[in-house]
Amino acid sequence: MSVRSDLIPFVLVLATASLFGQTVPSSSGSRIAVAVRTDHPPKLDGTLNDPLWISAPVIGDFRQREPLETQPATEKTEVRILFDS
């Protein structure tokens, strides 16, 4: 056998072995964000007093990754997603 024919199975074994090291995140903690369509663009002035922002669903209850994964975020964060056509 040539060196090349010996090398191919070795590379295949290494490639498949590395696949077992991958972890799939649990889907139990997944959430879905909903973007709301608007008839006109919302004001982007940083004050969030536009009625469109007030009526948009709030995404919150974020979890941190570091230093303690899955613990509540240390700073309150809220997100609202709007889009116009």
Q: Tens digits of per-residue pLDDT, 3-47?
A: 667 788 777 777 776 666 656 555 556 778 889 999 999 888 888
Q: What separation, in Å, do the N-terminal and C-terminal C-alpha atoms of the chain show?
A: 65
3-class secondary structure, 82: strand
How does 18-56 read in b/e, with b if 16+ C-beta sit within 10 Å?
A: eeeeeeeeeeeeeeeeeeeebeeebeeeeeeebebbeeb
Q: Tens digits of per-residue pLDDT, 57-79?
A: 999 888 888 888 888 888 888 99
3-class secondary structure, 33: coil
**How many distinct helices (H) and strands (E) make up the chain?**
2, 2
